[in-house]
Amino acid sequence: MNVVTVSTQPFTGQKPGTSGLRKKVKVFAQPGYLENFVQSIFDSLSGQEGKTLVLGGDGRYLNDTAIQTILRMAAAAGFGKVLIGQGGILSTPAASAVIRKHAAFGGIILSASHNSGGPDGDFGIKYNLANGGPANESFTEAVYRRTQSIGAYRYVDAPDVDLGALGVAAVGEMTVQVIDPVADHADLLETLFDFERIAALLARPGFRMCFDAMHAVTGPYAREILERRLGAPAGTVVNGVPLPDFGGGHPDPNPVYAAELVAALADPRSGLSFGAASDGDGDRNMIVGRDFIVSPSDSLAVLAANHHCAPAYAGGLAGVARSMPTSCAVDRVARFLDIPCFETPTGWKFFGSLLDAGKVTLCGEESAGTGSDHVREKDGLWAVLFWLNILAARQESVAGIVREHWRKFGRNVYSRHDYEGIETARADKLFAELRGKLPGLAGTEISGMRIELADDFAYTDPVDGSRSEKQGIRVLLQGGSRVVFRLSGTGTEGATLRVYLERYVADAALHEVPAQEALAPLADLAEKIANIAGITGRNAPDVIS
């Protein structure tokens, strides 16, 4: 086996964010850039010799060439075997399922999730641990430190592997097995839900659904599960062929980027009863009923409240967890069920220790991510199947189920306002000034609303005791409303400011007030506290979801 050692120098800025390292394709395409980061991952591991690595991605531009590089480097790092999805494809939840099923040492996932693709788009890479979940902060910090001191990377001199054909190949002394990217994940999902009941729903006269795969990774998974195993009509899955540039679209399942799906569900002539979409790597979801969009926070709460409808969860939930910016709707369900509810920082890795310890069964983030203890990633298709199982069991509409939920628990009116591509210096200035105001905010009244607490959220993991500081600024108001400010860790250029607005409404007579109208006073309060327009020059958010 011919191992080649190449001298290199560190690149600045290779610090992993919420879900790995994400940069523009042109950044990753620099000679040595990908190699430095991959070698830093391998240098931060121990005990991988002879073990199995899982590898795959969402099929975006650069995915195929990056995989060949990583295979050669994995062989040089001593891995004994790599399991890779056919065509280099593995959705993020599927990668987690494969890691867990085959007891792999870990996995590398190539994705920038919901970010745009193509040669001018984004690329990303992250490492998942043996539990199938994203690497914890101690590991990602070790990788970052290594990127700042790396002096060489290593690879095995070997030809490319044919990723299009199922079977076994070799890179040096390492075995490469190209596997069906869909089978393991689909088989797992079939054990969780009542497929016979869902199939009957999909065959029912008057019920018709549409799943928008957004030309991203979920297309093959949705076709296998919805159309083949559950018998939905051909064509139920639209935009189902994964493309390196996602067909020129933005693979983020929200009302802005999945506008055609939303419009179709609002048009009675379409005949659609249910709609869903997933993102670039298959871990996010959007649920749409007839002329009714379900907010991600409400979705998590409804799933928890209706857990008994799905066979895998009918015996009860150990607990639930949500990221701090996610609305408190699920908290109310947890109190009703008398189960624990954990509030964590944003990032699925923070749910991992809770899931591994058996403290929670369901978890979710405000950014359209929900999941359970079946894998250690959020899972878009899992959420869609859960909703279908609930619809099949209750024989009610999406809107009817959510409105009944509001009547029982009250409505947490909720929205996220994104200000994208802000100059980093301006974003840093906004947060520095905001943090400086925190000590004086509690007890004050702004725009007729009294502030009870203002803090910079910190989290101590109840399982491993690790501490995470500065995870977002919370402004909690009398009556259960709140405003949260956070800088996103998923962008590749500048900074994305996310402002989360949440108002609790108990009175059912006010539940139908449009969300942005109900939240307008909170938006005004957010501007007065943070001076967003004055510091950033932005008078309105780029995306409202």
Query: Which residues belong to the active site?
Result: 113
Closest CA to 97 of 214, 180, 197, 193: 180
Dihedral over Cα of 345, 403, 544, 383: its sign: positive
Query: Is residue 365 helix, strand or coil?
Result: strand
Closest CA to 528 of 456, 442, 437: 437
Closest CA to 540 of 438, 417, 375: 417
Residue type, 269: R
| Tokens of residue 62, six digits | 């650069």
Residue type, 398: V
Residue type, 520: A
Residue 411 half-sphere exposure, CB side, CA atoms within 13 Å? 23
Query: Is residue 533 helix, strand or coil?
Result: helix
**How far is residue 21 from each of residues 7, 96, 129, 230, 295, measured CA to CA in Å?**
22, 18, 16, 37, 28
| Tokens of residue 116, six digits | 């745009």
Query: Is residue 519 a contact partner of residue 415, using CB atoms and an 8 Å limit?
Result: yes
Closest CA to 122 of 491, 496, 543: 491
Query: Is residue 198 helix, strand or coil?
Result: helix
**How far is residue 152 from each of residues 37, 73, 127, 254, measured CA to CA in Å?**
11, 12, 20, 42
| Tokens of residue 156, six digits | 């095995």
